[in-house]
Amino acid sequence: MREIALITLCCLLTPFYTFAQSDTDTIPVLQYSEPKDYEIGGIKVIGADFSDDNAIISIAGLQVGDKIRIPGPDIQKGIKALWKLRLFTDVQIIKEKTIGDVIFLEIKVQERPRLSRHSYRGVKKSYHDDLNDEVDKYLLKGGIVTENVKVNASKAIEGFFIGKGYLDTRCRVIELPDSSRINAVQLIFDVDRGNRIKIQDVAFAGNDNIKDRKLAKQMKGTKPKRRLFASSKFIKKDYEEDKEKLIAYYNTQGYRDARIISDSLWREPDGDLMIRLNLEEGNQYYFRDISWKGNSIYDTETLAGVLGIEKGEVYDKELLETRLRFSQDGRDVSTLYMDNGYLFFQVDPIEVAVEGDSIDLEIRIFEGPQATIDKVVIKGNDRTHEHVVRRELRTRPGQKFSRSDIIRSQREIINLGYFNPDTRHQHAGEPQRGTVDIEYTVEEKPSDQLGLSAGWGAAPSG
């Protein structure tokens, strides 16, 4: 189309440049080989129903009063600049008329169609909202419909279903004119999901120390079909997460250097998927010497007791992190400090020596100042009186900060039965002042979910 526009331009501008003459004069014809300089006397835009005329003229790089040579590079540059916008299916710059050395130009454009609406074919209605979330990243009602827009939207739809295990999904885009609007089209996304692809088997190679069965157990989202009609599907996101879990399991067994060298996926003749993971386990390591640095509030013996890791135990990164930072049962070094007000406490385990199969650790501690609670704010309780929530709190202004008290307060708020379980908190501390503000955000249950309970007693006689 671009080549057609340029050819049209040459045909219109070069062989037939006419000038105002008397009736008795001969009309001169300028040959392509004889360019001439003109002053632009006016520029008119034709065909731009949705685009701004002045913007089109500006982008074309043409201005009334400019001197241009015809034939010459200025017109070609203007056409190229307008094509780059991707707003038009046809661009022409032609001569309207000339008066002496003054030329009047017309910029003729044909705008790309605009989107009026879109729909889906071949998918259940229950998927439409989810698909809209995907295609709305590329489609805009009233926006210009380009090939890139259609390709990106169709690829997003395919990606959505591929993520659900339909690996053979194909989406065809049908563009139809919308007669109810000027220069508008509707898009129909014709989706063929195909069959959901099952995993025939997951094979491991290089695992000399841990059996296949234990490794397969870690891949909870990537299960092969074991029997007829067994639930099995390949979802890439779950597969990637399972690979991370596989390495995390190795780390808990002392194989801190374990890694997946490569993985292969291929389809069998029946369409099922085969997966092969090539592993490098590395050496198995053990804890040796563990030293502490920076602790003044608690002595080394107390901290070592809370950590609970003995020399000669299998090197387990997950266990180490749990015992240092956060354990469900409250047995961790961070809780020991934070329950005593040391909100700004930090701990960092450093491997200071690796010899053979043994690792020495130095656990570096920054205790910081104790923090006192300054403000306690409650948000989200539109119907429930604040004092009902506040009386359940274990964190009050003037008290020392305690992480366990915050966790217990959240539990007590949920136990009231007025709020959804996702009650959350956040705290902002100021180390210079040694204070912290705590904010609890609750989400009230709808009124139709609240139970009604009442008690009664007999009135005393006489």
CATH architecture of the domain covering 286-366: Roll (3.10)
Check residue 8 and give its pLDDT.
Answer: 40
Q: Which residues pair with 47 in a beta bridge?
A: none
Domain range annotation of the chain: 2-111, 114-192, 199-280, 286-366, 372-448
Q: What share of the chain has pLDDT > 90, as a percent? A: 53
CA distance 73 to 189: 43
Question: What pLDDT shows up at residue 399?
Answer: 93
* pTM of the complete model: 0.63
Q: How far apart are CA 323 and CA 334, in angstroms?
A: 8
Residues with Cβ within 8 Å of 62's Cβ and at least 6 positions away in sequence, in order, are 40, 43, 68, 74, 78, 93, 105, 107
Question: Among all chains, which residue has been given the structure tokens 């739809």?
Answer: 157
Residues 268-310 have pLDDT tens digits of 998 899 999 999 999 999 999 999 999 999 999 999 999 999 9
Mean per-residue pLDDT for 422-448? 83
Q: Is the pLDDT of residue 224 over 80?
A: yes
CATH class of domain segment(s) 199-280: alpha beta
My answer on whether omega of the bond before 71 falls inside 30° of 0, hence cis, is yes
Under 8 Å between Cβ of 11 and 85? no
Token pair of 194, please?
């195909």
| DSSP-derived pairing of the beta strands 259-267 and 273-280 | antiparallel
| Arch. (CATH architecture) of 114-192 | Roll (3.10)
For the chain, state the CA radius of gyration: 37
The alpha-helical segments, DSSP class H, found in 86-165 are: 128-135, 147-162
Same fold, 199-280 and 372-448: yes
From the list 214, 196, 194, 189, the residue with the least C-alpha distance to 204 is 214
> H/E element holding 95?
strand 88-99
195 DSSP 8-state letter: P
Start-to-end C-alpha separation, the chain:
104
**Domain 372-448 belongs to what topology?**
Ubiquitin-like (UB roll) (3.10.20)
The helix (run of H) or strand (run of E) holding residue 57 is: helix 53-60
Q: Report, at the CATH architecture level, how domain 2-111 is classified.
A: Roll (3.10)
Average pLDDT over residues 422-444: 85
CA 120 to chain centre: 24
